[in-house]
Amino acid sequence: MENAIRHKPKFDDIYMDLAVNLAQRSHCIKAQVGAVLVNETRIISIGYNGPPAGTHNCDEDFGNVGCPRDSKGSCSLALHAEQNTILYAAKNGAKVEGATLYVTLSPCISCARVIYTMKIKKVFFLNSYAEYKGIPTDEGVEFLRKFGVEVVKYEKE
């Protein structure tokens, strides 16, 4: 038998692939976002965007129109994937400080504040929130970078 060198996927690829797959679990009709929180190569929490558990499933309860909108035109019920992931970790006593977050959409400014407050050290994102929302800049990314959180646009090698 030959000693063939097998390709082992990089952890960054594994975690982002998982975030992409988790996004498919979202009940949001507008956007599907997934997130994975990792500490020292160990997954400590996973999540996706949607209403709090036990409330509504927008695609089932509101059909093609989705949930009611708030005053800014955003989903009135949804937690963002980052929020769900961080809240679940904290609720279950996981050490969030120093962790790395993988998310399919760059953090909005509100999520960026939570990420910074929880002392997450690094964020990998796949797609731009600014492009998705049609706004000029990724405010969340700028905020995090300004205050010392490393933010990386994920590119699969």
* Interatomic CA distance for residues 65 and 55, integer angstroms: 17
Catalytic site residue 82? yes
Other Cβ atoms less than 10 A from the Cβ of 30: the count is 14
SS3 category, 139: helix
**Residues 6 or more apart whose Cβ sits within 8 Å of residue 133:** none
Residues 6+ apart with CB under 8 A from 132: 31, 105
Name the pairing type of β-strands 42-48 and 100-105. Answer: unpaired
Which entry of 2, 40, 82, 157 is annotated as an active-site residue? Answer: 82
Q: Are 79 and 35 in contact (CB under 8 A)?
A: no
- Write out the catalytic residue numbers: 82
